[in-house]
Amino acid sequence: MTDVTTTPQDRAQLDELVRTLLYEGYALYPYTPGATKNATPTPFGIVYPPAYAAESPSTFDLARVQVVAEADGTAATPAVAASVLFLEPAGERHEGVERRIDVPVTPLADLEAAPLVVPFAHEAVRGHVRVASQSFHSGLHRVTASVHNETEVPEGLDRKAALRSSLLSTHIVLTAASEPAGHVRFISPIAPPEHAATANMACASVNSFPVLGTPLDDVVLGATIMLPDPPQIAPESKGDLFDGTEIEEALLLHVLALSDGEVDEIAKQDPAIREMVRRAAGTTPEEFAQLRGRVTMSDVPTHGEELRGEREIVVEGVMYRLGDHVRLKPGAGRSAQDHLLEGRTATIERIYVDYSDIVHLCVTVDDDPGQVLMRDIGRYLYFKPTEVEATG
């Protein structure tokens, strides 16, 4: 470990990601106020009131993140801070107010001696945040951060009524700290190393999916959906648009298809939805095109890497080069569609070698009317050398 902490830029990117996730599922489309869909919002990460949560094993009155922190054995004092972010229901229809509860930086030794509890009470919900720690061998600590809904409601509520007293889109952020800085880090919840994956270190998160939140492993994000470790926002993204991390192009097209009357109705709704519609309406054609994604490839062989893009390669005495023509001979186990290509010639567009040193020839079919288009957009068919026959 080095004496460094997450940069302001990394933290800003994390904050942007959390805000995007906060509205994930909040408004799938900008439905008008009278739409049935808006009467029952469907965000993820719901922390229901206890009386409602007790009625089903799939509903929870808490969200909990449990992860392993590792101190490097120096004289530094390891500590953590925590934040809980969620949307509180408000208004007659679909509207949410952003809420945040912060737990100050606290030494892990203090959290092991006595968990820190921070109560909160808002207009529609009340509860508490709890942070605790348990020490193990080799400087390992199991840190638990949870948020509990303690809102009292009558029994027998339907889901719509229960949501009015629930924490919506609940996210937990844990930040590692130490004095001096940089001597404690979190271990990946997705792929922990062997020394931290023993039975007594098993972690059990509830109603949350924790991942490392920064490149330096000093932040854990307990998200409402499954994310890569660490997660990133695509630079093409237009922001927290309805589904946030979903298919933004389709959502933007939906906004532009709204009538003037529907736009006026939406303008009277939740300010967050109104802002989303305003931003979507200003999207340029160039920005639309960027939302279709991108593929970054390199054709230059890089020695020492397992995955390579080759210009030419010899397999069992046969030379294959970019631009060569081959005759396709799909082998057993290929799809029925692949066998429709039997005997047709194709052009080698890419040559890849995978992590198991297996060669893949990426081709376009010569008599396909869309061959030029497939080449331009990088959409290839993949065949092994045993499934083709050199024609030259």
DSSP 173: E
H/E segment holding residue 371 = helix 371-377
pTM for this entry: 0.71
Residue 303 has pLDDT above 50, yes or no: no
Adjacency order of strands within the sheet including 219-223: 96-107, 77-89, 168-179, 219-223, 209-212
Whether residue 344 is predicted with pLDDT greater than 80 in this model: the reply is yes
pLDDT at 263: 80
Q: Which of residues 181 and 53 earns the better pLDDT score?
A: 53
* Closest to 323 (Cα-Cα) out of 307, 308, 312: 312
Q: Give the number of other CB atoms < 10 A from CB of residue 252.
A: 21
Contact 142, 66 (CB under 8 A): yes
**Pairwise pLDDT comparison (139 vs 240), residue with the higher score:** 139
| CB neighbours of residue 68 within 10 Å | 23
Token output for 282: 């200003």
Has residue 181 got a pLDDT over 90?
no
Interior/surface letters 195-217, b for 16+ CB within 10 angstroms, e for the rest: ebeeeebebebebbbbbbbbebb
The residue ranges of DSSP E strands in 201-260, in sequence order, are 209-212, 219-223
pLDDT at 53 over 90: yes
**Residue 383: what pLDDT?**
94
Residues 6+ apart with CB under 8 A from 337: none
pLDDT tens by residue, 243-259 = 554 556 777 777 778 88
3-state SS assignment for residue 65: strand
108-147, pLDDT tens digit by residue? 999 999 999 999 999 999 999 999 999 987 789 999 999 9
- CB within 8 Å of 306: residues ≥ 6 apart: 353, 354, 355, 357
Question: Are the CB atoms for 312 and 322 separated by under 8 Å?
Answer: yes
pLDDT at 2 over 70: no
> CA 26 to CA 95: how far, in whole Å?
9
When comparing pLDDT for 74 and 324, which is higher?
A: 324
* Residue 46 confidence (pLDDT): 94
In this prediction, residue 378 has a pLDDT band, given cuts at 50, 70 and 90, of: confident
Question: With bands split at pLDDT 50, 70 and 90, how would you rate the model's confidence at 196?
Answer: low
- How are beta strands 381-383 and 318-321 bridged, if at all? unpaired
Q: Are 132 and 141 a contacting pair, CB within 8 Å?
A: no
d(CA 95, CA 123): 13
Q: What is the DSSP letter of 76?
A: -
How many Cβ atoms are within 10 Å of 94's Cβ, its own excluded? Answer: 24
